[in-house]
């Protein structure tokens, strides 16, 4: 038997967008309910995506001794007898801690968490099918759809095979394989490929394009390819799989080129689609595109003004950081809260490959496309004392700036703590600074942050036609 209760806001999904959107409204005294169909809160960001892959990266670096190789010149081999449970132990601890944080946040804001499958009855009413067969009806003046995304699964690929995985199921792998074929050179494919490579797995990555991470500054993606190649990764670019076959030792991928790729396991990282199945969106007048993404305006409103959507369910950039901000902005608009009215215009991107990459603003390629007269300055980790200390001698930091007035246009970093270093560049971009700002600043020594100063010096040298400092 169903009963109906009225809320100021009903949120569907308790991932990064759902949690933060709900908390934003509840903070101002509104009555809020969050519906989550999974057994655990956190969405893909906590349970299968952002946090797990980044935690596994740290575990891979630890177990492989990869950092120590650069420091001491010793080839540490993977711990003998390492089990998948050992590899996953730290991941489970981190994920559980993050789940507890979310539950505590909901409790502090007096947000009601309802476990069950949500479906629209009409534009203001959501039914919840709960465990045990119970059903509940919720009505609200405002509804936020924050159901996230799920891996895109081609019907031609046998994901029920024990040797075939996507970005969610790979976390359930029973053992670390001897070899792995990764299909897809985007963020997910590149991250997992480098993680397993660090663990001593023979990795082959294939993609229909000509390099990894094609949206990046070309120099950054080429540097990543070079580094992974030096560690033993094999690449098959400009090629596509036509058929997958099971073999006695794993899988075999027949490629369009006529070649074949074999591995014990295969990971298909062909992107993600909006997780809207079961929502019955047609009942409320909200539609989706062919990728299952909900279209929204600048305020994150759908075609139905009181129904908002935020996070991965609306498509790119599909980052946990931006998802949180989108939901906060959406809910401030919905309830007329003069707190946060737009998502920042500068959005940094962090890619947790080994080595990690981060970027913000214009790249050389985007400047060329937009016909911006630009110049660059580069600093290398190998010429930085902290880079030598931490054992990273292949990283680099690039500044892209306007030739006319030296105004900073973009920052691109590959190497140790790139995703932390990017924020100094982000703040400078946001403030409209020139590269002279980095020269005027005094940085701690020895630090990787110093590279901003020397990249700026290098840029001035390029601008004037001579090098002030090499690298």
Q: What is the mean pLDDT of the chain?
A: 91
Q: Is the peptide bond before 320 cis (omega within 30 degrees of 0)?
A: no
pLDDT per residue as tens digits for the range 129-184: 998 888 999 999 999 999 999 998 888 899 988 999 998 888 888 888 999 999 99
- So what's the pLDDT on residue 4? 79
Query: pLDDT-based confidence at 395, cuts 50/70/90?
Result: very high
pLDDT per residue as tens digits for the range 115-125: 999 999 999 99
* Residue 470: pLDDT over 50: no
Rounded to whole angstroms, the Cα distance separating 134 from 1 reads 7
How many other C-beta atoms can be found within 10 angstroms of the C-beta atom of residue 264? 18
pLDDT per residue as tens digits for the range 328-348: 999 999 999 988 889 988 999
**What's the pTM value of the predicted model, to 2 decimals?**
0.90
Query: pLDDT-based confidence at 74, cuts 50/70/90?
Result: very low
The pLDDT > 90 percentage for the chain reads 77
Q: 2-151+273-334: which CATH architecture?
A: 3-Layer(bba) Sandwich (3.50)
Whether 355-464 and 164-270 are alike in CATH topology: the answer is: no
If you average pLDDT over residues 357-363, what whole number do you get? 97
* Residue 468: pLDDT over 50: no
pLDDT per residue as tens digits for the range 183-225: 999 999 999 999 999 888 999 999 999 999 999 999 999 999 9
- So what's the pLDDT on residue 438? 98
Which of 276, 287, 296 is CA-nearest to residue 37? 276
Higher pLDDT among residues 39 and 306, named by residue: 306
CATH number for the domain whose boundaries are 164-270: 3.50.50.60
> Which CATH superfamily does the domain covering 355-464 fall into?
FAD/NAD-linked reductase, C-terminal dimerisation domain (3.30.390.30)
Q: Measured at the alpha carbon of residue 282, what is the angle toward residues 276 and 286, in degrees to the nearest 5? A: 70
Domain ranges of the chain: 2-151+273-334, 164-270, 355-464
Higher pLDDT among residues 2 and 146, named by residue: 146
């Amino acid at each position: 038997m169903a009963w109906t209760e009225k809320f100021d806001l009903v949120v569907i999904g308790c991932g990064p967008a759902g949690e933060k959107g709900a908390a934003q409204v509840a903070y101002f005294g509104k009555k809020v309910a969050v519906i989550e169909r999974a057994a655990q809160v956190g969405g893909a960001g906590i349970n299968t995506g952002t946090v797990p892959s980044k935690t596994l990266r740290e575990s891979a670096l630890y177990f492989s001794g990869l950092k120590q190789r650069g420091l001491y010149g010793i080839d540490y081999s993977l711990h003998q007898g390492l089990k998948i449970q050992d590899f996953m132990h730290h991941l489970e601890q981190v994920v559980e801690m993050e789940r507890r944080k979310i539950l505590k946040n909901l409790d502090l804001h007096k947000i009601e968490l309802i476990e069950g499958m949500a479906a629209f009855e009409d534009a203001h009413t959501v039914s919840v099918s709960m465990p045990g067969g119970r059903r509940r009806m919720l009505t609200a003046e405002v509804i936020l759809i924050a159901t996230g995304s799920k891996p895109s699964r081609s019907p031609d690929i046998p994901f029920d095979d024990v040797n075939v995985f996507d970005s969610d199921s790979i976390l359930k792998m029973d053992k670390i394989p001897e070899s792995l074929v990764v299909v897809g050179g985007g963020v997910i494919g590149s991250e997992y490929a480098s993680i397993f490579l660090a663990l001593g797995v023979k990795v082959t990555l294939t993609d229909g394009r000509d390099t990894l991470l094609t949206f990046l500054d070309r120099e950054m993606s080429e540097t990543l390819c070079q580094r992974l190649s030096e560690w033993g990764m094999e690449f098959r670019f400009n090629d596509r799989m036509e058929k997958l076959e099971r073999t006695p030792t794993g899988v075999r991928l027949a490629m369009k080129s006529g070649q074949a790729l074999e591995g014990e396991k295969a990971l298909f990282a062909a992107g993600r689609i909006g997780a809207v199945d079961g929502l019955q969106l047609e009942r409320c007048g909200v539609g989706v595109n062919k990728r299952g993404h909900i279209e929204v305006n600048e305020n994150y409103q759908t075609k139905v003004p009181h129904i908002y959507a935020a996070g991965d369910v609306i498509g790119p950039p599909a980052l946990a950081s931006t998802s949180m901000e989108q939901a906060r902005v959406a809910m401030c608009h919905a309830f007329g809260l003069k707190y946060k009215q737009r998502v920042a215009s500068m959005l940094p991107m962090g890619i947790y490959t080994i080595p990690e990459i981060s970027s913000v603003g214009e790249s050389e390629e985007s400047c060329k496309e937009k016909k911006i007269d630009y110049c660059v300055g580069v600093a290398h980790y190998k010429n930085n004392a902290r880079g030598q200390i931490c054992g990273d001698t292949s990283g680099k930091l690039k500044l892209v700036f306007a030739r006319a007035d030296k105004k900073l246009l973009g920052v691109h970093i590959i190497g140790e703590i790139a995703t932390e270093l990017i924020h100094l560049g982000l703040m400078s971009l946001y403030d409209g600074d020139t590269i002279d700002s980095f020269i005027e600043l005094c940085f701690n020594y020895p630090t990787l942050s110093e590279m901003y100063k020397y990249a700026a010096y290098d840029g001035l040298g390029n601008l004037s036609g001579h090098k002030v400092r090499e690298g």
